[in-house]
Amino acid sequence: MHLVAHGLDHHETFGPVVAQLTQAVEAHKQAQPGDDFALVHPRASTLWHRLQALFFAPLCGLDRLTAFDTHAHPLATLLGRGYHSATLRQFLGPLARVGAAEVWLPALVPAHTGPITSVDGHLVASWSRLAMHQGKITMLGRIMAGSQAVLAHADAGQAVLVAYDPPAIHVSPVLVAYCQRVALATGHSLVVIDRAVNSVALAEALDEQGLGWLCRLADDEPAGVESCDATSVATLEDGTRV
């Protein structure tokens, strides 16, 4: 990790990120001249060190802010300084306030991605001790409403688009509009999903929008290549026809 940190410093990797954040702060100061908080009076060195702390924290096994108070000794050795959770919490809040995510996207997302985008859905639990309407997720006797997260990733693994819907909504009806947004964001129209949540009707709806879709069919859809027009491309070593 010390070698990685030295390499990042040598290539000034954090430089463009700090510069973009400084521009975002200046834009916020012009738009909201009366808004006063710690981040509107930044020093480049302060931004640099706090961004480094956030970057190296997962590599040091720090997966939550409270761990900075008791388990941040490797981070102090690596960066030559320590941080407490309160310090970084006061840093993270203003980052969202100045819209840092938008200005950082060009630095964090690769300029060029492959032609294939992968889409997957995840049910995200919303924990609560209060009485809630039961959704699709239950655990340890607790009722959690949660949300349906649909994530698109580029071929190199970078997240492209994340959308949230209530868990009771089936993913299929929202996929056409979602894939249109993915194609607009990436410039690529081929999308892959590995779940059997789709139908021939959905494939036709996507085709009408000029989108390519590779997936499994739902169990109640036609089975086998004999049920539809298919072109044989190759035969695998195990005899499977493609």
Is residue 150 a contact partner of residue 172, using CB atoms and an 8 Å limit? no
Q: Does 138 lie in the same domain as 66? A: no
169-175: long-range contacts, CB 8 A cutoff, minimum separation 24: 170/197, 171/121, 171/197, 172/197, 172/198, 172/199, 172/202, 174/150, 175/119, 175/150, 175/202, 175/206
Q: At 49, phi and psi to the nearest 5? A: -70, -40
Paired tokens of 111: 């300029």
Give me the DSSP letters along 92-141: HHHHHHTTHHHHHHHHHS-S---SEEEEEEEEE----SS-----SEEETT
Split into its structural domains, the chain has a count of 2
Alpha-carbon distance of 95 to 102, in angstroms, equals 11
Q: Write down which residue in 108, 131, 158 finishes a domain.
A: 108
pLDDT in tens, the chain (242 residues): 889 888 988 888 888 888 888 888 888 888 888 888 878 887 888 888 888 998 899 888 888 888 888 888 888 888 888 888 888 888 888 888 888 888 887 666 666 667 888 888 777 766 656 655 555 555 554 545 567 788 888 887 778 888 888 766 777 778 888 889 888 888 888 889 876 566 778 888 888 889 888 887 766 666 666 777 778 888 989 888 88
pTM: 0.52
The torsion angle over the Cα atoms of residues 77, 82, 85 and 89, rounded to 10 degrees, is -110
Q: Write down which residue in 45, 77, 108 finishes a domain.
A: 108
Domain residues for the domain of 6 are: 2-108
Q: Write down which residue in 49, 76, 108 finishes a domain.
A: 108
Alpha-carbon distance of 188 to 20, in angstroms, equals 27
